[in-house]
Amino acid sequence: MKIGKNYLGRYVELVWRDPGSARVKAPVRCGRAALATWKERGVVDNIDEGVIRLAHSEAAEPGALAADEWMYSWIPEELIEAIVIFAPAPMERKEDGS
């Protein structure tokens, strides 16, 4: 599935097929049925050369001013089967305005 630049910065759920290798018992599946299915959520951080970089989280040691650890997935566009874009939900305001 071709992912356009309009997805950059959006929180999404991607469903994609993961080629891999493993020991299997008969019957041995073929085609797309032989691929594992992953469902991942994160922010589309980069799209380059047909590969999506999905940012999951960032962290820092207590007291640090900036993040020093990140969690990403790199997913080839051609292996993506579905994409859901999550819309921001409006925040409820309390009576005191907070």
Intra-chain end-to-end CA distance of the chain, in Å: 42
What is the pTM for the complete model shown?
A: 0.74
Q: How far apart are CA 56 and CA 90, in angstroms?
A: 22
Helix (H) or strand (E) holding 12: strand 11-18
- What Rg value do the Cα atoms of the chain yield, rounded? 18
Smallest CA-to-CA distance from 20 within 37, 36, 39 is with: 36
Q: What is the CATH number of domain 5-20+30-85?
A: 2.30.30
| Cα atoms found within 13 Å of the Cα of residue 36, Cβ hemisphere only | 9
User: pLDDT by residue (tens digit) across 29-83?
Assistant: 888 888 888 999 999 999 999 999 999 988 888 888 888 888 999 999 999 999 9
